[in-house]
Amino acid sequence: MADEFGKMGESLRAKTGKGLDDWVATARAAGIAGHMALVNHLKAAHGLGHGYANMIVHAANASSSLSQDGNALVEAAFDGTKAHWRPLYDRLTLLVQGFGEDVELAPKKGYVSLRRKKQFALLQPSTKDRFDIGLALKGEAPTSKLEPAGSWNAMVSHRVRIAADAEAGADVADWLKAAYDRAG
């Protein structure tokens, strides 16, 4: 399945003894139409957390961020002059997935939305010289690094501009965690 869900898939196997492909077969065999109906079934019948169940249903339906289109969107975002931003993206997505099983990566054209019950952040390789992190931290006071998003993206309240991977340190991790916590 999708490379960016490799760690989550490994965790799923460690927790349940079954890999993503096995769970996809289980989901498809249930014969339940509707995304949330199937998610709820997997949670109730198999004791899965929301994040795992959601990932399995997306994979079973070949939809959203687990679809081939989602992979293609991520690959396209880090193509050419933006390729050097991929390790930062990989590091940040692993960090965020460690916050809880309910994290969903939803690739869009040019960026990846980070969702829980709602979008709490986004990761965007904006230019060859800048990586932007959008955060839903409404009411948080801006700092020199945590600036208001303004008209940049209406789905987030703040933006952090990263000019080099070294700049995405503990403060960025703390802001991502705070945004995740608020989305719960």
Q: What percent of the chain has pLDDT over 90?
A: 52
Domain ranges within the chain, ordered by starting residue? 3-66, 81-182
What is the reported pLDDT for 37? 85
User: Could you write out the DSSP letters of every residue in the chain?
Assistant: --GGGHHHHHHHHHHHS--HHHHHHHHHHHT--SHHHHHHHHHHHH---HHHHHHHHHHHHT-GGGSHHHHHHHHHHTSGGGGGGHHHHHHHHHHHHTT-TT-EEEEETTEEEEESSSEEEEEEEEETTEEEEEE--TTPPP-SSSEE-TTS-TT-SEEEEESSGGGS-HHHHHHHHHHHHHT-
For residue 119, pLDDT beyond 90: yes
Question: pTM for the whole thing?
Answer: 0.64
Task: Render pLDDT for 61-100 as a digit per residue (tens, 0 to 9).
Answer: 765 444 446 778 888 899 899 999 999 999 999 999 999 9
What is the reported pLDDT for 83? 93
